Amino acid sequence: MIRFELMRAQHIDEILEIEKKCFPDDPWTRNMFESELGNKMSVFVCGIDEDSEKVAAYGGMWLIADLSEITNIAVDPAFQREGIGGRLLSLLINICRERKAAAVHLEVRDGNIPAVSMYEKFGFKRVGLRKKYYGGKHDAILMTKIL
Ligand SMILES: CC(C)(COP(=O)(O)OP(=O)(O)OC[C@H]1O[C@@H](n2cnc3c(N)ncnc32)[C@H](O)[C@@H]1OP(=O)(O)O)[C@@H](O)C(=O)NCCC(=O)NCCS
């Protein structure tokens, strides 16, 4: 069973391990996760595996006025395709609704089929493309869900 809770400093070591597996080319650093903790605009959630009490997934966003931007979302490869990413995304969307956000935005690397499929399943639409956004090589697809 996975339970979701707000990210705390003690989760970051385990998050960094997953981050390296999920984004080997450009993982977020410890500093980046730590700065989310001190950022009032940020909502960052962890999924904890209740068997091991270890982090299995995490995701976060910024909420600014009535706009929201998902900044990161990842599921440990050992836990992928079990519905956890979808649960995490719907949790973030529900928080947006509670906070009266009008839309949720995100960027995803072109060719990231699992992520693009998940976002489309949850009603995100492609609204733009940023050429060579990731490492000067891969395009970013801009996606939006109107709430
Ligand atoms: C994208 C990611 C978060 C999905 O997490 P997950 O827990 O495996 O996803 P779920 O099991 O909840 O699946 C939800 C939906 O995502 C899509 N999906 C997930 N994995 C997929 C795959 N390998 N191929 C195609 N679609 C996939 C499907 O639409 C799926 O719905 P379905 O089960 O009804 O087919 C996960 O693959 C991941 O962490 N990837 C690496 C990090 C990453 O790319 N993050 C997104 C950055 S923008």
Amino acid, single-letter form, for residue 12 = I
Nearest to 42 by CA among 20, 57, 64: 64
Q: Tell me, what CATH number does 54's domain have?
A: 3.40.630.30
Backbone angles phi, psi at 59, to 5 degrees: -165, 150
In the chain, the number of structural domains is 1
Nearest to 140 by CA among 119, 13, 90: 119
Both tokens assigned to 56: 């299995």
**Domain containing residue 62:** 2-146
Backbone angles phi, psi at 57, to 5 degrees: -165, 160
What are the pLDDT digits (tens) for 88-114? 999 999 999 999 999 999 999 999 999
CA of 76 to the centre of ligand 1 (A): 11
What is the C-alpha to C-alpha distance for residues 70 and 55, in angstroms, rounded to an integer?
Answer: 19
What are the pLDDT digits (tens) for 27-86? 999 999 999 999 999 999 999 999 999 999 999 999 999 999 999 999 999 999 999 999
The best mutation among 49, 80, 121, 145 to test binding of ligand 1, ranked by most ligand atoms within 8 Å of the C-beta, falls on 80
